[in-house]
Structure 1
Amino acid sequence: MYLLGIDVGTSSIKVAVVDVRTQKSVATAQYPEQETEIKSVKPGWAEQSPLDWWQNTQQAILKLCATNLFDPKEIKAIGIAYQMHGLVVVDKDQDVLRDSIIWCDSRAVVLGEKAFDSIGHEKALKNLLNSPGNFTASKLAWIKENEPEIYQNIDKIMLPGDFIAMKLTGEITTSISALSEGIFWDFQKDELSKDVMEYYGLNDNFIPTVKALFSSHGKLKTDVAELLGLTAEIPISYKSGDQPNNALSLNVLKPGEVAATAGTSGVIYGVSDSLTYDKQSRINTFAHVTYSQEKKNTGVLLCINGTGSMYRWAKHNFAPKSSYPELNNLATKSPIGSKGLKVLPFGNGAERILNNKYTGAQILGIDLNIHHQSDIFRAVQEGIAFSFRYGLDIMRENGMKPKVIRAGRANLFLSDVFAQTFVDVTGVPVELYENDGSVGAALGAGIGAEIFKTAEEAFTQHEVIKTLIPKHAEAYEPIYQEWKEILEKQLISE
Structure 2
Amino acid sequence: MLLLGIDLGTSSIKVSVVDAASQKTIVSVQYPETETPIIALQPGWAEQDPNTWWQHVQQAILKANATNTYNPKNVSAIGIAYQMHGLVCVDKAQNVLRNSIIWCDSRAVPYGNKAFDSIGHDTCLSKLLNSPGNFTASKLAWVKEHEPAIYAQIDKVMLPGDFIAMKLTGDITTSASALSEGILWDFSTNTISKDVLDYYGFDASLFPTIENVFTSHGKLSSTVSESLGLSTNIPVTYKAGDQPNNALSLNVLQPGEVAATAGTSGVIYGVGDSLNYDQQSRVNGFAHVNHTAENTRIGTLLCINGTGIANSFTKRMLAANKSYNAINEEAAKVAIGSNGLSVLPFGNGAERIFNNTIVGAHYQHLDFNLHTQAHIFRAVQEGIACSFRYGLDIMRSNGMQPSVIRAGKANLFLSSVFAEAFVNITGVPVELYNCDGSVGAALGAGIGANIFASEKEAFANMQPLQLIEPTNIDAYKGVYSNWKDALNKQIA
TM-score range, shorter chain: over 0.9
Match of 2:260 in 1: 260
Match of 2:179 in 1: 179
Match of 1:28 in 2: 28
Contact 2:364–2:486 (8 Å) recurs in 1: no
Match of 1:46 in 2: 46
Cα distance in 1 between the residues matched to 2:82 and 2:188: 26
Match of 1:302 in 2: 302
Cα distance in 2 between the residues matched to 1:159 and 1:328: 35
Residue 194 (structure 1) aligned with residue 180 (structure 2): no
Residue 112 (structure 1) aligned with residue 89 (structure 2): no
Cα distance in 2 between the residues matched to 1:330 and 1:290: 42
Deviations 1:265-322 (A, max 9, x none): 0000000000000000000000000100110100000000001110010000011100
Match of 1:245 in 2: 245
Q: What stretches of structure 2 of length at least 5 have no aligned partner?
A: none
Range with greater deviation from structure 2 (365-374 or 70-79) = 365-374
Instruction: Letter of the 2:412 partner, please give it.
Output: L
Match of 2:464 in 1: 464
Matches within 5 A, 1:28-427: 28-427=28-427
Cα distance in 2 between the residues matched to 1:346 and 1:461: 38
Instruction: Letter of the 2:472 partner, please give it.
Output: H
Instruction: Letter of the 1:319 partner, please give it.
Output: A
Instruction: Letter of the 2:35 partner, please give it.
Output: E
Match of 1:8 in 2: 8
Range with greater deviation from structure 2 (479-488 or 163-172) = 479-488
Cα distance in 2 between the residues matched to 1:334 and 1:466: 24
The offset of 1:161, in angstroms, is 0.5
Cα distance in 2 between the residues matched to 1:389 and 1:363: 18
Instruction: Letter of the 2:483 partner, please give it.
Output: W
The offset of 1:375, in angstroms, is 0.4
Deviations 1:218-259 (A, max 9, x none): 000011000000001010000000000000000000000000
The offset of 1:478, in angstroms, is 2.1
Q: Secondary structure at the match of 2:14?
A: strand
Cα distance in 2 between the residues matched to 1:272 and 1:435: 23
Q: Secondary structure at the match of 1:348?
A: coil
Cα distance in 2 between the residues matched to 1:212 and 1:112: 27
Cα distance in 2 between the residues matched to 1:163 and 1:113: 27
Match of 1:447 in 2: 447
Cα distance in 1 between the residues matched to 2:25 and 2:328: 26
TM-score by length of structure 2 reads 1.00
Cα distance in 2 between the residues matched to 1:489 and 1:129: 30
The offset of 1:472, in angstroms, is 1.2
Q: Secondary structure at the match of 1:378?
A: helix
Cα distance in 2 between the residues matched to 1:66 and 1:9: 22
Deviations 1:178-208 (A, max 9, x none): 0000000000111111111100001110010
Instruction: Letter of the 1:198 partner, please give it.
Output: D
Match of 1:437 in 2: 437
Instruction: Letter of the 1:300 partner, please give it.
Output: T
Deviations 1:433-477 (A, max 9, x none): 001100000000000000001111100010011000001111111
The offset of 1:368, in angstroms, is 1.2
Instruction: Letter of the 2:340 partner, please give it.
Output: G
The offset of 1:377, in angstroms, is 0.3
Deviations 1:112-154 (A, max 9, x none): 0000000111111000000000000000000001000000000
Q: Secondary structure at the match of 1:78?
A: strand
Deviations 1:16-37 (A, max 9, x none): 0001111011011111000000
Cα distance in 2 between the residues matched to 1:294 and 1:136: 26
Deviations 1:54-95 (A, max 9, x none): 000000000000000001000000000000000000000000
TM-score by length of structure 1 reads 0.99
Cα distance in 1 between the residues matched to 2:248 and 2:110: 33
Q: Secondary structure at the match of 1:219?
A: coil
Deviations 1:305-350 (A, max 9, x none): 0011100100000111001111111110110000000100000000
Instruction: Letter of the 1:368 partner, please give it.
Output: F
Instruction: Letter of the 2:481 partner, please give it.
Output: Q
Identity of aligned residues (%): 65
The offset of 1:373, in angstroms, is 1.0
Contact 2:269–2:302 (8 Å) recurs in 1: yes
Q: Secondary structure at the match of 1:81?
A: strand
Instruction: Letter of the 1:365 partner, please give it.
Output: H
Q: Secondary structure at the match of 1:335?
A: coil
Q: Secondary structure at the match of 1:161?
A: helix
Q: Secondary structure at the match of 1:384?
A: helix
Instruction: Letter of the 1:218 partner, please give it.
Output: G
Q: What stretches of structure 1 of length at least 5 have no aligned partner?
A: none
Cα distance in 2 between the residues matched to 1:239 and 1:41: 30
Instruction: Letter of the 1:433 partner, please give it.
Output: Y
Instruction: Letter of the 2:195 partner, please give it.
Output: D
Q: Secondary structure at the match of 1:113?
A: helix
Instruction: Letter of the 2:437 partner, please give it.
Output: G
Cα distance in 1 between the residues matched to 2:169 and 2:2: 19
Instruction: Letter of the 2:260 partner, please give it.
Output: A
Cα distance in 2 between the residues matched to 1:452 and 1:479: 46
Cα distance in 1 between the residues matched to 2:21 and 2:9: 27
Cα distance in 1 between the residues matched to 2:373 and 2:134: 36
Instruction: Letter of the 1:18 partner, please give it.
Output: V
Cα distance in 1 between the residues matched to 2:453 and 2:277: 32
Cα distance in 2 between the residues matched to 1:409 and 1:326: 17
Deviations 1:340-399 (A, max 9, x none): 001000000000001111111111111111111110000000000000000000000000
